Copies of this chain bind each other. A is one copy, B any other.
């Protein structure tokens, strides 16, 4: 790492192999392997069998966003979390969302709408669809007592998912629930999770205008 950050080894350069580095550092090959695997995970080098290890040409810069349960997110900033369930019904899924989830048109899912508060100020407005075909227990869950967000984290392990972020102007519902004007930009996150090939849940989160997302490089 020192040789890379101090530009002694430049982008594209071939590094010595593990055996050679072990000799240089006077340690076992396994120790070098462990270190280089960590460095490769962090994106600074590219490793290939037979090809050797190279300093990454365009260090793949990755930002990692931690997504805690919303209650934890609020409470960890020292505020009091509260949650109001506005809507809960079995409904036909809009065509666009059906397409997103690769489901046939006219499928019905559990639709919930709720607002999370931080110190009695709206924090995020959540519009969620839950697939009862995969998760029938959700029909019995009391989402007024435990938020759907938290219930799902505890009860619905997933194998894959996607997360999309965009900037929008609040629609009428967003503005009403977040208590903001319709002329301020807000962050909107759309998240879907899947258990193998089956969609579990699709949620749209509308954040209040002051919210930012902080990530670590």
Contact = CB atoms under 8 A, between A and B. Distances in A.
Interface in A182-217: 183-188, 191, 193, 195, 209, 211-217
Contact of A63 (B65, B155, B168): B65
Interface stretch (A17-25, A78-86, A117-125, A156-164): A156-164
A62 B61 contact: no
Contacts of A141: none
A66 B163 CA distance: 12
A185 B180 CA distance: 15
Contacts of A162: 214-217
Nearest to A168: B185
A155 B7 CA distance: 8
Contacts of A158: 5, 217
Contacts of A66: 60-62
A129 interface: no
A37 to B, nearest CB: 10
A106 interface: no
A29 to B, nearest CB: 14
Contacts of A167: 167-168, 185-188, 209
Contacts of A68: 58, 60-61
- Residue picked from A7, A63, A66, A168, most chain B C-beta under 10 Å: A63
A169 interface: yes
Interface of A: 4-7, 11, 44, 58-69, 72, 153-155, 157-169, 183-188, 191, 193, 195, 209, 211-217
7 contacts: A44-B157, A60-B66, A64-B64, A65-B65, A164-B212, A165-B215, A191-B217
Given A5-B157, A6-B157, A58-B154, 12 more contacts: A44-B157, A58-B72, A59-B157, A60-B68, A61-B153, A64-B64, A165-B165, A166-B211, A167-B168, A169-B184, A185-B186, A193-B217
